[in-house]
Amino acid sequence: MLQICSLDVSVDNKKLFENINLTINDNEIHVFMGPNGVGKSSIANVIIGNPNYKVKGKLIYNNEDITNLSIEERSKKGIYLISQTPIAIEGVTNAEMLRLAVSEKNKKPVNIFDFNKELESICDSLELDKSFIHKDINVGASGGERKKIELMHMWMLKPSLVILDEIDSGLDVDATKLVAKSIKEYQAKYKASIIIITHNSALINTFDNYFVHLFENSSLVKSGDKKLAKEILSKGFKELSNSFVISENDENE
Amino acid sequence: MNKLLVSDVIDLKSGSYVLECQSKNLDINIDGDVTIYLLNEKMDNISINVKDNNILHLYMFNNELNNDLKVIINQNNNSKVYYNESYLNSHDRKLIIDNNMLGSNNESIISIRNISNKGDSSIIVNVLVDKKTINNIALESIKGINNGGYVHVEPNIICLSNEVSANHLTTIGSLDPDSINYLVSKGISLTNAQELLLNGFIYSNMDEYIKKNNGGE
């Protein structure tokens, strides 16, 4: 699915990451963790092809080098990001945007009846008011509603690699459960790969198995399974970092 | 919806009207709760008199007709004016609106959206709140996009009375790159994303009638 090979990332001549190597296979869930400001969102933006980031190294997606592809080309290949703070767009409704995106993806006009039926059913499952379908994108929507609207887009566009950048931030307990359930159902239905960027356990605890990657000091410092997430969440980043230093010193001795 | 072929002067009572103009100069007297649609009508001068206690909703859309236009709106007492104009220009164009609040307890909201594809687009909006008047509300919302051309705005509110609420919002810029990236990240081509944003902008102050009859939806 996705291979990140020797990736260096910088923005405005400031180095963010160096030599990141990571493989995400089909139907796998990977959790990116790390202290605030370490640049986890930047990696998400690099994967979708945000032109503001300068990259060295390679990104291989489904055996194809996508390092130099645009956002548009990557999204057409099924890479999709739900950002931490989805923007609002005045004058463009969710229905208008999705009709265009779905018709471009399928290379044929949408059947309006089927399209509306599918959208309404998605709204029901997300407990999202159907009126949002014909409202401007994220305009007048609360933080929680925006996350649900972005999930509505995901269900309609059916991407194969979904990056969720702190989708659980600002959600109440019930909304977090509902969002987690929706993501789990999506992953199961479409066998999608999911990257979750989070600081909380509520969302990742929904999944039985997942991989965890800890980012610190411009590097990917440790990878593991759900045990690593538990360790991070119980000890905190600082204590865990110190333990890495101690163990490295022990090795040197 | 009433479709009317109009010449120089017309009195309109409560209702919705689509005006097709035979003359480039038009005087309109508003008597009631009136909605007017002017869709791609090439006008030079429009003069509107809103009588006491009456309401005007005006929607004007102009797709690259590029003609200069002067609009004069006079309000007396207890009237409301909701003026919405959107246009695209591909040559120089000058729009001047004079909104005179001559009495008290009036409300006026002037909303203009302009995409300048080529040439200079000059938008001058003068709202005058006359002396010895009270409780008038004046709002101007003027937004322009430089899409190859240039938009120039002068939002003037002249208050000769102390008891008035007046505000104006003016923005001029290009298409927001974050909005373009957002749409493109959903799998929409760059050209279609830009078109979607421009359409969304230009129709954002128009109602359903204009959108449906001008390809906005």
CATH architecture observed for domain A2-252: 3-Layer(aba) Sandwich (3.40)
Whether A242 has a pLDDT exceeding 90, the answer reads no
Q: What is the pLDDT of residue A245?
A: 55
Name the nearest CA neighbour of A137 among B200, B84, B175: B200
Tokens of B135: 């409780």
Give me the half-sphere count of Cα atoms (radius 13 Å) on the Cβ side of residue B128.
13
Q: What is the pLDDT of residue A122?
A: 97
| Helix pair angle (A94-106, A143-157), 10° resolution | 20
Dump pLDDT digits (tens) for B18-63: 999 999 999 999 999 999 999 999 999 999 999 999 999 999 999 9
Across the strands, what pairs with A221?
A: none
Dump pLDDT digits (tens) for B89-135: 999 999 999 999 999 999 999 999 999 999 999 999 999 999 999 99
* A236: confidence class by pLDDT, cuts 50, 70, 90: confident
* Contact (CB<8Å) B184/A75: yes
- pTM equals 0.85
- Mutate which of A48, A81, A100 to disrupt the B interface (most B C-beta within 10 Å)? A100
Dump pLDDT digits (tens) for A59-80: 999 999 999 999 999 999 999 9
Q: What is the pLDDT of residue A135?
A: 94
Longest dimension (CA), chain B: 58
Which positions in chain B touch A71 (Cβ < 8 Å)?
181, 184-185
Dump pLDDT digits (tens) for A7-30: 999 998 888 999 999 999 999 999
Dump pLDDT digits (tens) for A155-210: 999 999 999 999 998 888 899 999 999 999 999 999 999 999 988 888 888 888 99
- Mutate which of B141, B176, B185 to disrupt the A interface (most A C-beta within 10 Å)? B185
Burial of residue A68, with CB atoms counted within 10 A of its CB: 0-12 exposed, 13-18 middle, 19 or more buried: exposed
Find the Cα–Cα–Cα–Cα dihedral A94, A97, A100, A106, rounded to 10°: -70
Q: What residue ranges do the domains of chain A occupy?
A: 2-252
Three-class SS of residue B148? coil
* Contact (CB<8Å) A90/B200: yes
Between A242 and A95, the more confident residue is A95
Q: What is the pLDDT of residue B217?
A: 47
- Least CB-CB distance to B190: which of A72, A87, A153? A72
User: What is the ipTM score, two decimals?
Assistant: 0.89
Q: What is the mean pLDDT of residues B188-217?
A: 87
Q: What is the pLDDT of residue A243?
A: 66
* Contact (CB<8Å) B182/A87: yes
* A244: confidence class by pLDDT, cuts 50, 70, 90: low
Whether A248 has a pLDDT exceeding 80, the answer reads no
Whether B139 has a pLDDT exceeding 60, the answer reads yes
Q: What is the pLDDT of residue A253?
A: 44
Distance CA B36, CA B57 (A): 6
